[in-house]
Structure formats: structure tokens, C-alpha cells
Amino acid sequence: MNTDVILKAQDLFFSYDDGASYALSGLSVDIHRGQKIALMGANGSGKSTFSLCCTGICKPQRGTLYFHGQPVAYDKKSLLALRSKVGIVFQDPDNQLFSASVYQEISFGILNLGVSEQQARDEVEAVIGALEITPFRDKPTHALSGGQKKLVSIADILVMHPEIIILDEPSAALDPKHTQMVNRIVAQMTEAGITVIMATHDVDYAYAWADEVILFHEGKVLLHGAPDVVFSDHDALHKTNLHPPTVLSLFERLCNKGVLSPDLPCPRDLDTLENYLTDAMHK
Amino acid sequence: MIVIDKLCYQSKLRYENAGEKFAFAVLTLLICVVSRSIAVAGIVLAVTGTLTVAKGGVPVLRYLKFLTIPLAFLFLSTAAILFHISRTPMDLFAIPLGGWYLTTSMSSLHYAVQLILTALSAVSCLYFLSFTTPMTDILEVLRRLHCPKLLIELMLLIYRFIFVLLDTASAITTSQHCRLGNRDYKTALKSFGLLGSALMLRAVTRSNRLYTAMEARCYDDTIRVLSENHPPKKSVIAAIVLFDSALIALAIWSKYLI
């Protein structure tokens, strides 16, 4: 982790009910620029609240959030500046799409950045092309399928060119085809230099995709590290209602049986594991 | 209403300039209502009907069915104008009822027909607009006409959330039916009440979440959006001007010169 810290949370406390219970209770974490970060944890462990804190929607009662090393201020101007750099794609597109027209919907965010109309039009067209929204751009949003709505809600944020994109369970309720499309778009975001934070319950995907995994537990970070380290910690996984990724499980079992050597680096995907096995068979 | 919404997105006139369609519908409607002439109303009904059906591609039967919706109200309300109960019979016909007559005069028949046709032609103008122009395009026209921003933003959000809430309502109703929520009249009534309160709560949470999501996209109390423009065509504008001028001429002629 030699990249610079873009977002830093220090000892955040947040309560939705005036201190009766805490959604975040002393959360500290560093987010590094350009990384692919998976936020994992049981329901109610604080992932969504943390995401909302990152854009200044939830103001922590205690603790400080730093963006590019500067403590986040909560006056209107600073908040707008923060939100133009940190975007959230919400889990349910129906809570995000406010206009019946796809074109209007996507143009909202970029116009709020104060760019000229012509530039906004160009940006909207570009993102519509890049995300393959063209076939349904003329449909009203209420006539779109769940997957199409998801693509529009991602376009909503991408058009603003944020430095960090937070995706809240992007593939929840999507069919495999749209899940793949979303995953491809996420990969393109990373290529474009965007720091991607994804809240997800899909351990297999997180294991294959992420550079870092942050395990949330009761409003705190339980474990933060490389996927193979985090997912090898069975106690931590058990605490957070997670299972180890299938590939990793199988690898461990094969190591225990002596089929594979435990000295091999942990395989991230099925293909690597297959190669290990083929090599082992040839020996 | 949902059917109209679906049809207007499929209309062949959808990508015509919204301002043209709006101007045509509103001007023609005004002429109909102000002139109250049977001839004008007849022409308008024929022209808007043809445009909506032949040019727009709305199925004829569906269109006629939609026209019959206001017809029922119209017949009920004109019945009061048409029929009189009096001691003296009038010129058109009179049915004796004891010492009284159920009777109608020629002039009230004329008045009733005039009223029905005017109302129907006015409705057909609005149908033309709603069958060919999506709501978001109409809002864009209103914005250009300097309609208050607050109203336009409200309409934009309400229009979107009609569909979200309808989906929610139908999902709740289905789940109530699955659990025998409409077993008898009493439970059905109770379920309906519960549906109402559940919808209310959902609407409040939805609006909070939506506000949060908009805030996250730098919302600063003004909804600014871009619309796609389809440039107006000179020939269409000329046709609208010509048609409406002719209508006005006909209205004046039939009112003062006959």
C-alpha cells in the first residue's frame, strides 16, 4: 500500500437516534488512491452509513473525515466540492432516478457542476455511448428493466467524473448478464484512475476483484487488508456472517490433503487454481 | 392514464418538436371553447382524431374508447339541459305526464349538441397532446413559457413517482392477496386501509432517500436538467398557423355572418 491516502476516516461515531445506538462507533480507515476496495460485513454493520459519511450526507457526531488530507468542512460550498469528487451509486435505482427521461436524469449531476450546456451535452452523450445506454435512451425510466435502471444510475455518477465512486451492492437483484456488464464498467472505472469502493456480499467476486477488503463489524473496521489475508481469517469471517471464497476454500482443502503445496500463492480465481492442479498432476 | 403514457412513447409523432404540438393543441382548444361553434368543433374533432390515429399511430378502437370516457359525463350533464318538465309543451316533442309534460325545445337540443361537440373537441385536442407528447417534453415547453420553476419541478417529481408508487402499491396488493387479504368484504376493506398507510410511509421514506441521492449529486435546491430538442419545422408551423387562422375565420363567420 504505497499509494497516497485520498480519504481518511478517523474515529468516526455516527448515530441515527441521538446516541441510543451507534451505526458507526469509532471507525478509522484509510482509502488509497486508485485502489479497488471491497466493503464487506453483515447487514447493519455500518457499510452504508460509512458511504453516506464519505459524501458528507451523514455528519459524524465525533471523529474527522479527511479528503486529500484536509478535514471535511460541512458548510454548503465545501460539501458541494466534496460531492463533486465523491459519487455514490445507490443500491435501489428507484431511489436515485428522479426524472422520467434518461437524458434529463443523466444531465442533472453534470449541470450541478456548473459546466456549460454544450459541454454537459457532450459529456452526457459520451457516457450514454460508453455504458451502452443508447438502445433505451428514449424510453421513460419507469419502462426500463432493473438492469437498465442500474446502468442509468451508474451513468448518473460517472458523468460527473468523480475521483472516488462508491457502489452500494451494485449487483443486488441483477441478472448475470447485467452483473457482468456492471463488473465490466467497474473495471473501466479503475482503468480511468477512479478509486472504487464497493459494498458487496459476494465474497467470490470481492476476492477476485478487490485490491483491499475492509471487513466491517458493529460500526468498526474489524480487518483491513489484501483479500487473501482477510479471507483466510476464519474467525473474522465467522464474526461478520461471511463464508470464505469458494476458490480459496477449495485451495485450502486441497493443501490439507497434500494435493497442492501450501507454499503456492493463494489463487484468486478458478483459472489459477486449475493451472495449479494441472501442474501438480504433471509432476 | 398508464395506457396513454405507454402509447405516447410509441407515437410516431413523438419526435416532432414539442412546442409545435403544444401550440397546436392549446390554440385549437381555445378556439373551440371560445367559439362554441358546431362546425368548428366538428372539424377539430375530425382533424385531431385523424392526426392522433393516422399520423400518430394510436389504434382507432383504443382512441374511440378513450373518447367515450368523457361522453358518459357529457350525456349525464346535458340531460338536464335537454329535458324540461313544464305545463306547456315545447316545439320539439312533449310526453304528457298527468298534467305536466316532459318536453324539449329545438333551441335546447341545439344547445346540448353544441355543448357536447365543443367539450368533445376540446378533449380531443388534449388527447392529441397526451397521445403524442411525453410528459417530460411538455414540461420543457412549460419551462420555456416561463412557468414557475417550483411547479415544473413538482410536476417532474410527481410524474416520476406516480409510477414508483403504483409499482409499490401493486406489489403490496399482490402480497395481500397471497395472504388472503381479500377473503371477504371486511378483510378487503381492512387490507385497503393498510395498503394506504403502508404507501404513505413508503412515500415518505422514498422522498427522503431520493433527496439524499440528489444531495449526493450536488443538488443545490434547483433541479437543472437538459432536454433533447427536436428542431421545429417551418412547414409544420405554417400548417398550424394556417389551420388555426382558418378555424378562427370560420368561427367568426358562423357566429356573426350567418
Q: Are residues A234 and A254 in the same domain?
A: no
The pLDDT of residue A2: 46
| Mean pLDDT (whole number) for B80-95 | 82
Q: How is residue B205 written as a grid cell?
A: 421514506
| A258, A208: one domain | no
Strands A195-199 and A36-41, bridge-based pairing: parallel
What residue numbers bound the domain in which A210 lies? Answer: 5-244
Judgement on whether residues B111 and B238 belong to the same structural domain of the protein? yes
B77 shares a domain with B165:
no
Same domain, yes or no, for A136 and A235? yes
Same domain, B95 and B154: no
With cut-offs at 50, 70 and 90, classify the pLDDT of residue B100.
Answer: confident
Same domain, A272 and A195: no
A93, A168: one domain: yes
Q: Identify which has the larger pLDDT, A3 or B48.
A: B48
Give Rg (Cα) of chain A.
20
**A-B contacts (CB, under 8 Å):** 103
Q: How far apart are CA A132 and CA B108, in angstroms?
A: 62
Look at chain B and report how many structural domains it folds into: 2
Asked if residue A261 and residue A236 are part of one domain, the reply reads no
Residue pair B141/B19 in contact by the 8 Å Cβ criterion: yes
Cβ-Cβ contacts under 8 Å, A146 against chain B? none
Looking at the domain assignment, is residue B139 inside a domain?
no
pLDDT digits (tens, 9 = 90+) for B211-227: 999 999 999 888 888 88
Q: Does residue B142 lie in a domain region?
A: no
Say yes or no to pLDDT of B258 above 70: no
CATH classification of the domain holding A189: 3.40.50.300
Q: What does the pLDDT read at residue B214?
A: 92
pLDDT at A282: 85
* Cβ contact A98:A108 at 8 Å: yes
Res. B257: pLDDT tops 80: no
Kindly state whether residue B117 falls inside one of the protein's structural domains: yes
Q: Count the domains in chain A.
A: 2
| d(C-alpha B12, C-alpha B142), whole Å | 22
* Residues A145 and A204 both lie in one domain: yes
Q: Looking at residue B47, what is its pLDDT?
A: 94
Least confident of A275-279, B91-95, B199-203: B91-95
Chain B residues near residue A113 by CB distance under 8 angstroms: 218
Q: Which residue has the higher pLDDT, B214 or B88?
A: B214
Based on the fold, state whether residues B244 and B127 are members of the same structural domain: yes
Same domain, residue pair A133 and A271: no
Tens digit of each residue's pLDDT (9 = 90 or more) over B124-180: 999 999 999 999 999 999 999 999 999 999 999 999 989 989 999 999 999 999 998
Same domain, A82 and A217: yes
Same domain assignment for residues B122 and B16:
yes
Q: How far is B129 from chain A (nearest CA, A)?
A: 17
Q: Structural domain of residue B248, as residue ranges? A: 3-133+232-257
Instruction: Indicate if A147 and A262 belong to the same structural domain.
Output: no
H or E element that contains B95: strand B93-97
Chain B residue set in contact with A, beta carbons under 8 Å: 5-6, 9, 134-136, 156-157, 159-160, 163-164, 167, 206, 209-210, 212-220, 223-228
Low-confidence ranges of chain A (pLDDT < 70): 1-3
Sheet holding B100-104, edge to edge: B84-86, B100-104, B93-97
Regarding whether B194 and B101 lie in a shared domain, the answer is no
User: A38-47, B57-66, B88-97, B119-128: lowest mean pLDDT where?
Assistant: B88-97
Helix intervals (H) in chain A: 47-54, 76-85, 102-112, 117-130, 146-158, 176-191, 203-209, 227-232, 234-239, 246-256, 270-282
pLDDT at A3: 59
Do both A135 and A230 map to the same domain? yes
Nearest CA in chain B to A55: B216
Give pLDDT, residue B124.
Answer: 94
Are residues B92 and B199 both part of a single domain?
A: no
DSSP state of A213: E
B184 found inside a domain: yes
What is the reported pTM? 0.86
pLDDT at residue A50 in the model: 94
Give the residue, B89 or B54, on which the prediction is more confident: B54
Q: Based on the domain organization, do B25 and B91 belong to the same domain?
A: yes
Q: How far apart are the first and last CA of chain A?
A: 36
B6, B214, B224 member nearest A111 (Cβ): B224
Looking at the fold, whether B14 and B71 belong to one and the same domain comes out as yes
B12, B88: one domain: yes
Same domain, B97 and B153: no
Residues A255 and A185 in one domain: no
Does the residue B56 lie in any domain? yes
Q: For residues B53 and B112, state if they share a domain.
A: yes
